[in-house]
Amino acid sequence: MSLLLPGTAVGLKTRDGVVLATDKRVTYDGFVLSKQAKKVYMITGRTGVAFAGLLGDVGYLTKLLKLESKYYELKVGRDIKTRSLAKVLSLVLYNYKLFPMFTEIIVGGYDEEGASLFILDPVGSLIEEKYAAVGSGAQLALGYIEPKYREDLTLEEAEKIAVEAIKTVIERDVLSGDGVDLVVITREGYTEKSHLFKTTPEK
């Protein structure tokens, strides 16, 4: 199945944590519906998800994951691990395989196993990666990230690469645009940041 899912999301894993980033544009049938959409979310205090695709499916899956993680916390007494949350999401997506969600997802976080990063397609295929990009600008983003990625990257370097990768996509992909939202996740918790870009010159 080949889908051109609007928007771009990237993720990078380092020894000290994970960076997740997305663009801010929402498009449908060639029209820009929003320039301020949020497509990266924290599910627990140390696990987040970044999406590319239809915003309705993004909202549904985000709410579902938050409910599942809260249920796990109440039942077990601790936050669900990043790997376990990714597996839950994989099962959810697979259950919709006949009418799949139009979204690709990056799951990243930090737990007792350290930093981890996973990528999922619309029907729930689950792959662990060191860095990843999904959506309409994935190839452009990976082209920027691959030559710059090292396993000894600092979080600051990974954050800069993530922002510049999205910025590179925005310059060439009409389905992505208007800025970058990102989260930096470490052992201590997470930090959310936002960057706005001008996509058209002022007259």
Q: Distance between CA atoms of 183 and 122, rounded to whole angstroms? A: 23
179-to-13, 167, 192 alpha-carbon distances in Å: 22, 8, 14
Note if 8 is an active site residue: yes
In sequence order, the 6+-apart residues with CB closer than 8 A to the CB of 5 are: 52, 53, 54, 102, 103, 104, 122, 134, 135, 136
Kindly tell me the number of DSSP H helices and DSSP E strands found in the chain. Answer: 4, 12
Chain Cα centroid distance, residue 188: 20
SS3 label, residue 118: strand
Q: Distance between CA atoms of 141 and 170, rounded to whole angstroms? A: 10
* Annotated active-site residue in 8, 14, 62, 168: 8
As annotated, the active-site residues are 8
